[in-house]
Amino acid sequence: MADRRENSLLFSLNELKELEVQRQEEEAESKRAAEEAARRAIEDAERRKREEEEAKIRAVQDAERRERERKEQLAREEKMRIDEAERKARVEAEARIEEARLIKETQERIKKALPYKLIAMVGGAILFIAAIIAGLVIKKYIDEQNAEAATLAAQRQKEKEQEEKQERDLLERQQAAQKQLQDLQNKLSATVGEVEKKKLEEEEKRKPKPSSGGGGSGKKKDKGDSKPEKQPSGGGGDDIL
């Protein structure tokens, strides 16, 4: 029995030791896991910080690159516009020079090839055409002046009609206002008459009523009227008079 009790105690002690060792191992594992999580968190924070800084640097670099490319594009476009303008100016100058040269050569050939009479005829024709053109220009100018004068006349007529219409409207408004004023005066007069009438009625109502003796005389008079064959007494006759 004592051996079994000792064995049981030893077994319990061994179990407690194993539980303690297991607990210590679990605590160590938890501590290692916490340290690992903290280390990973620090590494993640540092990594995010580096990525943000790199992103900011890349954004600045991209903005600078885009600005540089924009300026280069503007410079290229400006250079292309200048080159195109210079090319057009050069082509136009060359064309004018060539045109002047051809005109001069043509004039020299005409002078050499045509006799003086033909030159005179051509000059007269040119003068005739110039006179026709001048006449057309003058006629166009006169037509434009006439059209402008007609437009001004129509505009003035329209303004005159508008002024007359405004005057008529103003006169009608004045007449309407006078009519309204007359109506108001009539209403005011009628109101004043009614007020005076009511005032007189109130004054009549405020007057003192006749005495009671007069009322008795009236009654006797009524009786006398209803019975004319009877002669009223002396006192009654005095009341009637």
User: Which three-class secondary structure state does DSSP give residue 114?
Assistant: coil
Q: pLDDT tens string for the chain (241 positions)?
A: 556 666 676 767 778 788 888 888 888 888 888 888 888 888 888 888 888 888 889 889 988 999 999 999 999 999 998 998 888 888 888 888 888 888 888 777 766 655 556 666 777 778 788 788 888 888 887 888 888 888 888 888 888 888 888 888 888 888 888 888 888 888 888 887 787 888 788 778 777 665 544 444 444 444 444 444 444 443 444 443 2
Q: Which two tokens stand for residue 68?
A: 């540089």
Q: According to the model, what pLDDT value does residue 114 have?
A: 55
* Lookup result for tokens 């004319």: 228
The pTM of the full predicted model, rounded to 2 decimals, is 0.29
Q: According to the model, what pLDDT value does residue 223 have?
A: 41
Taken as a whole, the chain contains a residue count of: 241
Q: According to the model, what pLDDT value does residue 222 have?
A: 43
Cα distance between residue 120 and residue 126, in whole Å: 10
Q: According to the model, what pLDDT value does residue 4 have?
A: 63
Beta carbons of 238 and 218 less than 8 angstroms apart: no
Among 119, 141, 117, 121, residue whose Cα is nearest residue 129: 121
Q: According to the model, what pLDDT value does residue 235 have?
A: 40
Q: According to the model, what pLDDT value does residue 68 have?
A: 92
